[in-house]
Amino acid sequence: MADPGAREHAPQRAVAGRPARFDFTGRTALVTGAAGGIGGAIAAGLAASGATVWSLDRDDTVRAAADRIGGHTIVGDVRDPGLPEAALSRIGDVDLLVLAAGVQVRTTGSGITEDDWQRLADVNLSGPYRMIRAAVPHLRRRGGGSVLAVSSMSADRAVAGIVPYGATKAALSHLIRGLAVELGEHRIRLNGIAPGYVLTAMTGSLLADEERAARIRERIPLGRPADPEEMVGPSLFLLSDAAAYVTGQILAVDGGYALS
Ligand SMILES: NC(=O)c1ccc[n+]([C@@H]2O[C@H](COP(=O)([O-])OP(=O)(O)OC[C@H]3O[C@@H](n4cnc5c(N)ncnc54)[C@H](O)[C@@H]3O)[C@@H](O)[C@H]2O)c1
């Protein structure tokens, strides 16, 4: 049942003969990891499509990124259990939540240190989980809303050298699917994207190694890694009313890598 008090910007169904609008005017978005390549690109895409955007990151450069897109900033660490409530009490209600903050540790699965394991689990899994949990009452007050998590192709594929990272992303994807089942009745949709290789700080040193980069390119059907901007269209689609009947899906945005 729809929640009483749902506001005018509640998600809309498509109207017959007219495609649902790919437009975020009047919507408020919180984007974590917004100082980074993918989070920053999605935040900019949302702002350009009419949303009021709050950019969150632990990296102070998020202030400049938010200024460039005409939005607001929250500097904070998603490992802090108090951050979601503190952030949401500043923002008020949100309609859209994008979970892009993440870290990667390149190491063997059996050789990872306790500290690195804890950091991966805290940032990539507990951070998004706490943020969603805190946002649910806000999304319900808005009559529903949409969550997008940035998972990874390594969630479903065993990639040597990033197995613990992949395990946190597999758990994140599972969380998205499971919460989509539980929260559908409140008109809250949760989806994810699973990027392959994207040219950001996270992959900088890996893709700077020309030999490795060539091997990676060979395995990607589209023949190249992605620019962060190429994550924006699929993300905005999943967040928008154009995807009003899509929930619990993790969309591969990987140039076909998962098929190869
Ligand atoms: N680049 C890729 O090829 C690729 C592929 C698949 C998935 N991803 C995922 O995409 C997301 C974005 O990564 P990116 O490629 O843009 O890398 P990035 O390093 O450019 O961005 C990650 C951002 O997360 C922020 N962050 C990290 N720890 C944080 C914390 N504790 N609190 C708050 N912010 C924190 C960083 O400061 C950074 O701005 C990540 O979740 C990553 O796992 C990236």
Q: What is the pLDDT of residue 16?
A: 64
Q: Which of 105, 116, 202, 217 to mutate to test the pocket of ligand 1 (most atoms within 8 A of CB)?
A: 202
Interatomic CA distance for residues 236 and 53, integer angstroms: 13
Q: What is the pLDDT of residue 127?
A: 98
Residue 258 has pLDDT above 80, yes or no: yes
Atom of ligand 1 nearest to the CA of 77: 32
Tokens of 213: 């980069």
Q: What is the pLDDT of residue 4?
A: 45
Residues belonging to the active site: 165
Quick one: 70 exposed, middle or buried, by C-beta within 10 A (0-12, 13-18, 19+)? exposed
Q: In what order do the strands lie in the sheet with 188-195?
A: 72-75, 52-57, 28-32, 96-99, 145-150, 188-195, 250-253
Q: Convert the pLDDT of each residue in 1-20 to its tens digit.
A: 444 445 555 666 656 666 55
Nearest CA to ligand 1 atom 8: 152
Q: Which of 157, 200, 216 to mutate to test the pocket of ligand 1 (most atoms within 8 A of CB)?
A: 200
Closest CA to 78 of 148, 132, 27, 144: 132
- Lowest-confidence pick of 10-19, 145-154, 183-192: 10-19
Taking the centre of ligand 1 as the mean of its atom positions, its distance from the CA of residue 104, in whole angstroms, is 8
Residue 178 has pLDDT above 60, yes or no: yes
Q: Are 100 and 150 in contact (CB under 8 A)?
A: yes
Distance, CA of 158 to chain centre: 21
Mean local confidence (pLDDT), 195-217: 93
Closest CA to 170 of 109, 245, 95: 109
Mean local confidence (pLDDT), 92-98: 96
Nearest CA to ligand 1 atom 18: 36
- Lowest-confidence pick of 76-80, 142-146, 206-210: 206-210
Taking the centre of ligand 1 as the mean of its atom positions, its distance from the CA of residue 9, in whole angstroms, is 30
Mean local confidence (pLDDT), 141-168: 96
Q: Convert the pLDDT of each residue in 32-69 to its tens digit.
A: 999 999 999 999 999 999 999 999 999 999 999 999 99
Taking the centre of ligand 1 as the mean of its atom positions, its distance from the CA of residue 103, in whole angstroms, is 5
Amino acid at 151: S
Q: What is the pLDDT of residue 5?
A: 45
Residue 21 has pLDDT above 60, yes or no: yes
Taking the centre of ligand 1 as the mean of its atom positions, its distance from the CA of residue 98, in whole angstroms, is 12
* CA quadruple 175, 180, 181, 183: dihedral, nearest 10: 110
Residue 141: how many CB atoms within 10 A of its CB? 18
Interatomic CA distance for residues 217 and 225, integer angstroms: 7
Q: What is the pLDDT of residue 1?
A: 42
CA distances (Å), origin 84, targets 28, 30, 159: 15, 10, 31
Mean local confidence (pLDDT), 132-137: 98
Q: Which of 30, 150, 162, 251 to mutate to test the pocket of ligand 1 (most atoms within 8 A of CB)?
A: 150
Interatomic CA distance for residues 36 and 91, integer angstroms: 21
Interatomic CA distance for residues 144 and 137, integer angstroms: 10
Distance, CA of 234 to chain centre: 11
Closest CA to 34 of 5, 4, 76: 76
Taking the centre of ligand 1 as the mean of its atom positions, its distance from the CA of residue 35, in whole angstroms, is 9
Q: Convert the pLDDT of each residue in 81-90 to its tens digit.
A: 999 999 999 9
The binding-site residues of ligand 1, defined as CB within 6 angstroms of any ligand atom, are 33, 35-39, 57-59, 77-79, 100-104, 123, 150, 152, 195, 197-198, 200-203
Nearest CA to ligand 1 atom 43: 102
* Exposure class string for 101-115: b at 16+ Cβ within 10 A, else e: bbbbbebeeeebeee
The per-residue pLDDT of the chain, averaged, comes to 93
